[in-house]
Structure 1
Amino acid sequence: MTSFRRWAALLAASAALLATPAQALDRPVKIGILNDQSGLYADLAGPGSVEAARLAIEDFGGSVLGRPVELVSADHQNKADIGAGIARLWFDKEGVDVIADFSNSAVGLAVQAIAKDKQKVTIVAAASSAFTGKACSPNSVQWVYTSRTNGYGLAKVLSARGADSWFLITVDYAFGHAFADEIRKAVTEARGKVAGEVRHPLATQDMSSYLLAAQASKAKVIALASAGSDMTTTVKQASEFGVAGGATIVTPIVFLTDVHAMGLKAAQGLQFLTAFYWDRDEASRAFAKRFYDRHKAMPTMTQAGIYSSVLHYLKAVKAAGTNDASAVMAKMREIPVSDAFAPKGFVREDGQMIHDMYLVEVKKPEESKGPWDYYKVLATVPGEEVFQRLSESECPLVKK
């Protein structure tokens, strides 16, 4: 009888454990923000992404499943080997469960591969379509934008609005070529014309000859397949010399901090797609004000995306009842994304978070009501229209 009671008690205890939806963890949940803290991408991500993650943790309550949530951060210096080394240390020695941001695709791809082997989670805020393509991982999600959305998607949206002739000014390396190819594909599909293309070396200081070639083409759109200093230099010189004429200047990758640095006089009229603008609606304004009070700058799309993704990760841990990567990722795909960054988003089986994008135009100086009031939102573009279709995905996880 004693043995039977002991067996019955054990069975009851086991049943109770199985019935409990969430078990307390035996250690803190640790989140790492790995990005450029001091170089090219420091303003658009950097310390601001760390602050955004901290704000998300606080909004969630600072703990999950009975354990505190801890935040660590590091500077990968835009070097894949340094980023990979930090990731291994965090995963192997410091118990980090998830690493987010990256901003640099080369670093992100290196860390994503390590995380896949070690059954950890990565949340990517970098552009390469490879993250959810051939290099996709069951434990990774791409959150903010891709080369597809901001190259192909931009050209598709503008072509539908009557932009039927284009000229490309392309930075001459893989990044620029990828975006130029995406733009060309969308223009061709819309039966438009690419009137010409010129390529320039990275970090070119004098863009006048390239801009004159674009002007001579008489194209309606001058597309800058570049980013960072190459993009800002071209925009400033186009404004300074009046080269654009009646053409619209567009560029795939623009951040709020880029426009802040260029100033409205130089950047006015520039059009692009963005995943987030702080003055979009009541929810985005409320989040942005809280972020500004801490960081003294309005959030970029990357920083807002980090807030959103960290918050969603913690919701998934709570729902899964564990920090096990596979279980958490299943919940990240199951739970809809609804926050100040993405009011109606969702994570697909290839790891792509689908959300609306926004076609914006930089205001004229006289249209701005004050600091950081930089964009006019011309259109809300449904995510399904600009993210790569699942049927086109090269991700091995996608069921054909």
Structure 2
Amino acid sequence: MNRLIMTTALVAAGAMPAFAQEVSDNVVKIGILNDQSGVYADFGGKASYEAALMAVEDFGGTVLGQPIEVVTADHQNKADIASNIARQWYDTEQVDAIMELTTSSVALAVQALSKDADKITITTGAATTELTGAQCAPNSFHWAYDTHALAVGTGGALVDQGGDTWFFLTADYAFGYSLEEQTTEFVESKGGTVVGSVRHPLTNPDFSSFLLQAQASGAKVIGLANAGLDTQNAIKQAAEFGIVQGGQRLAALLFTLAEVNGLGLEAAQGLSLTESFYWNRDEASAEFGNRFMERTGVMPNMVQAGTYSAVLQYLKAVDAAGTDATEAVSAKLHEMPVDDVFAQGGTVGANGRLYKDVYLMEVKKPGDSDIPWDYYNVLQTIPGDQAYISPEDSGCPLVNG
């Protein structure tokens, strides 16, 4: 199987006890499973693995007197490959928890497998609300963002900023439909109007005809209900048409700092998007961002910072539970507040959703960026209880029986 697998063990200096009854196999092992070679390699990728290592180091390298080990693999955005890796990790490598899980199909498959295996998952890289909705699981958690938060932030909040007429460029498959549908709901709930939409093929190289329709619509906001290279190509070509310079806004419904860096400010300027973390938002996030940059060469986006938080909180829960047993650790993850560089005063709902603030961002003009990676103006802070579906309304059977 063509995949990348890495492993590292981090052990604090000093003598280690020969045996600790509280920790199975005398080691706490965490797996970071994501895309490390495909279209989402910058979205999370190997940098998420480094974020996990940072969390282990910041925690102290051991928990309950035992070493912490982090393993990682590339799932190639394929649910079957991801499931095979997860099964191997659980059956033969004694992995206790799997995290990151970029792409929704992968996350749903591994979460279901983990439920049967009585293991913990904490998803930071996938978007679907199904993870904490109809397919929620007692030992599974959703940490960094989801499609509902993106729709609230980039949809509803932009209407509050004056963007009350919308036109959608939508990828012609289920992910695009969901983004358009959820964003439309929030635009209209705020009194906005959708004046039109057009669907484009997946991995579409030429957006000129679609952008001309969006431009002619006169909509204040052009919503990009797509992802990856499709979003980047649409933004590049929108710059060539002078759409932002002409007074219309581009709203990328799934875009992060990594993709902005890949495009450059000249093409991305004026773009509106939602993230749950920005490295230059305050002193603590800047300190974390600079440490992350030293070891990865990039500043962290919400997926990578979310992975740091997920690993750190998991280790805190193991320590508080006095064991790495799944049920006890899961109970602590539900009970404990989340206070770290990613989330301040965060809480975890009965459906496994982390509730924390998210931020509506606008990408700066090139002349307004003073330092490298200083790409965003924070337009609005959206509280977690507004950004995410409540446990009671999520459709999670664990909440409503």
Corresponding position of 2:55: 56
Q: Which residue of 2 aligns with 1:165?
A: 165
Letter in 1 for 2:264: G
Distance 1:228 1:51 in 2: 22
Amino acid at match of 2:318: V
Query: Which digits, 9 at most, give the CA deviation of each residue in 1:178-197, with x for residues without a partner?
Result: 00000111122223210000
| Per-residue deviation, residues 84-129 of structure 1 (Å, max 9, x unmatched) | 0000000010000000001111111111011001110001021011
Q: Evaluate the alpha carbon distance shift between residue 152 and residue 379 of structure 1 in structure 2; reply closer, same or farther with a 3 A threshold.
A: closer
Q: Does 1:250 align with 2:251?
A: yes
Match of 1:16 in 2: none
2:153/2:359 contact within 8 Å kept: no
Aligned to 2:261: 260
Pairwise CA distance, 1:26 = 4.7
Partner of 1:334: 335
Question: Which amino acid is 1:259 matched to?
Answer: V
Q: Match of 2:120, as an amino acid?
A: V
Aligned residue runs from structure 1 range 1-400, under 5 A: 23=22, 25-125=24-124, 126-244=126-244, 245-399=246-400
**1-structure distance, mates of 2:103, 2:64:** 32
CA distance in 2, matches of 1:368, 1:214: 28
CA distance in 2 between partners of 1:96 and 1:146 (Å):
26
> What letter is aligned with 2:209?
S
The sequence identity of aligned pairs, in percent, is: 52
Residue pair 2:22, 2:324 contacting (<8 A) in 1 also: no
Matched to 1:35, the amino acid is N
Further displaced range: 150-159 or 48-57: 150-159
Distance in structure 1 (CA, Å) of the matches to 2:154 and 2:41: 25
Counterpart code for 2:82: G
Q: Displacement, 1:159?
A: 1.6
The structural deviation recorded for 1:173 is: 0.5
Q: What CA distance in whole angstroms lies between the structure 1 residues aligned with 2:243 and 2:206? A: 13
Q: Which amino acid aligns with 1:335?
A: M
Aligned-pair CA distance for 1:24: 5.4
CA distance in 2, matches of 1:191, 1:241: 29
Q: CA offsets per residue over residues 204-228 of structure 1, 9 Å max, x none?
A: 1110111111111111111010111
Contact 1:25 1:67 (C-alpha < 8 Å) held by counterparts: no
In the TM superposition, residue 25 of structure 1 has moved relative to its aligned partner by: 5.0
Are residues 153 and 379 of structure 1, via their aligned partners in 2, closer, same or farther at CA, if it must alter by over 3 Å?
closer
- How far, CA to CA, are the matches of 1:101 and 1:331 in structure 2? 20
CA contact (8 A) 1:25 1:66 kept: no
Size of the alignment, in residue pairs?
A: 379
Comparing 336-345 with 146-155, greater Cα deviation is found at 146-155
Q: For residue 155 of structure 1, report the CA deviation from its aligned partner.
A: 1.0
Partner of 2:26, secondary structure, is: coil
TM-score (structure 1 length as normaliser): 0.93
Q: What TM-score, normalized by structure 2, do the two folds share?
A: 0.92
Unmatched 5+ residue regions in structure 1? 1-21
Q: Partner amino acid for 2:226?
A: S
Alignment RMSD (CA, Å)? 1.2
Instruction: State the alpha-carbon separation in 1 of the partners of residues 301 and 153 from structure 2.
Output: 19
Contact 1:212–1:243 (Cα < 8 Å) also in 2: no
Q: Is the 8 A contact 2:153 2:382 kept in 1?
A: no
Task: Quote how far apart the aligned CAs of 1:382 are.
Answer: 0.6
1:161, CA displacement in angstroms?
2.4
Shift of 1:164: 1.5
- Residue 112 to residue 144, structure 1, CA distance change in 2 (3 Å): same
Tell me the amino acid that sits aligned with residue 392 of structure 1. Answer: D
- Given the superposition, is the C-alpha separation of residues 362 and 328 from structure 1 closer, same or farther in structure 2, using an over 3 Å criterion? same
Looking at structure 2, the residues matched to 344 and 42 of structure 1 have their Cα atoms a distance apart, in angstroms, of: 30
8 Å Cα contact 2:392/2:400 also seen in 1: no
Displacement of 1:243 in angstroms is: 3.2
**Residue aligned with 1:38, SS:** coil
Alignment check: 8 A CA contact 2:153 2:358 kept: no
Q: Decide which moves more: 40-49 or 24-33.
A: 24-33
Q: Indicate if the aligned counterparts of 1:29 and 1:68 stay in contact, CA closer than 8 A.
A: yes
- The separation in 2 between residues aligned to 1:293 and 1:251, in whole angstroms, is 28
2-structure distance, mates of 1:205, 1:91? 41
How far has the Cα of 1:199 moved from its partner?
A: 0.3
- One-letter code of the match for 1:77? Q
**Unpaired segments ≥5 residues, structure 2:** 1-20
Letter in 2 for 1:104: T
**What SS class does the counterpart of residue 199 from structure 2 fall into?**
strand
Q: Distance in 2 between matches of 1:23 and 1:200?
A: 54
1:26 touches 1:67 (CA, 8 Å); kept in 2? Answer: no
Select between 223-232 and 386-395 the one with higher mean Cα deviation.
386-395
